[in-house]
Amino acid sequence: MYTPNEHRYEKMVYNRCGKSGLKLSAVSLGFWQNFGYLDNFANMENMVHTAFDLGITHFDLANNYGNPYNGSAEENFGKILDRGMRAYRDEMCISTKAGYDMWAGPYGDKNGSRKYLISSLDQSLQRMGLEYVDIFYHHVPDPGDTPIEETALALDHIVRQGKALYVGVSNYNSEQMKQILPIFRELRTPFIVNQPSYSMLNRWIEQDGLDDMAVREGFGLAVFSPLYQGFLTDRYLNGVPEDSRVGKGRTWIKDQLNDAMVAKLNKLNDIAASRGQKLSQMALSWVLRNGKVTTVLIGASRPQQIADNVEAVYKMTFTDEEISRIESVLAE
């Protein structure tokens, strides 16, 4: 039977999510990769236990995680809960999402309809054996087919049903936020978070103004791919390992890993070493440095990666010189 580390809350940083009362661990564990049907269950259970033992309380899933079988990540998480962690349900913030293709027919494709969102969450709750999730996200905008008012009303209804405590959106830019925020406010929906991609190598939320908007409007940012699908680690400094995401062909950005990118990564790694950090740790610290981001969603293939990444929260300050050096490398 699993018994968590009694000192798990002593070192982790917990940030308030926007202006809500909910705090999220500065590092969260995402289930996008390595928690699916074909992955090793003992390893994924060990990763969840390691994360929780280190103070990670936020576990982020989605209906379509678990390639090649949608929903298998949620099923595996439900099994992990059953094997000793369900007793700690109230110490966890569990989120899931719906929006991408999920099941056959017109109601399960890329979608933001009331029909799809409510049906999908019912399925997710059944897979995980939960009565509610803490945060339910609309995973991706559906501007072509579903009116944004319908999506907002569906998310509000889900909270009123008691199936989610809070709601969020993912991959929404600032213009899309301007459309949906007034509806949430009129309905008094507990909307608290947007989940965009963001990293040293992917700074679109800065150009878009979404980061400043989050601070101004009072919602949190839970950013995914803060290590740019593994580029911002030490895995690619000297070639492409066969067991890496690029080596397995499990990323659409593999063509970006050219000589110029490898040179850039090595220069960033030198800066990280001068700070006493690994490249991955510095990349996470950099994302969290100014307080605009609530939490970074990390992926992992083994427990040690989680332990290494958590150490980023212990060194989130940068000198002006370090920031200048980093910006110079990123501009190359």
Nearest to 195 by CA among 144, 135, 143, 127: 135
Fold of 14-228+288-302: TIM Barrel (3.20.20)
Q: Give the tens place of pLDDT for each residue, 197-247.
A: 999 999 999 999 999 999 999 999 999 999 998 899 988 888 666 555 554
H/E element, 15: strand 14-16
Domain ranges of the chain: 14-228+288-302
Q: Residue 247: its pLDDT value, please?
A: 46
DSSP H or E stretch at residue 98: strand 93-98
DSSP, collapsed to helix, strand or coil, labels residue 82 as helix
pLDDT at 251 (0 to 100): 59
CA distance 160 to 3: 34
Q: Which two tokens stand for residue 222?
A: 């839970």
φ, ψ (nearest 5 deg) of residue 240: -115, 105
Look at residue 253 in the predicted model and tell me its pLDDT: 63
Residues 245-262 pLDDT 10s: 554 555 556 677 888 888
Are 25 and 55 in contact by the 8 Å Cβ rule? The answer is yes
Write down the pLDDT at residue 250: 56
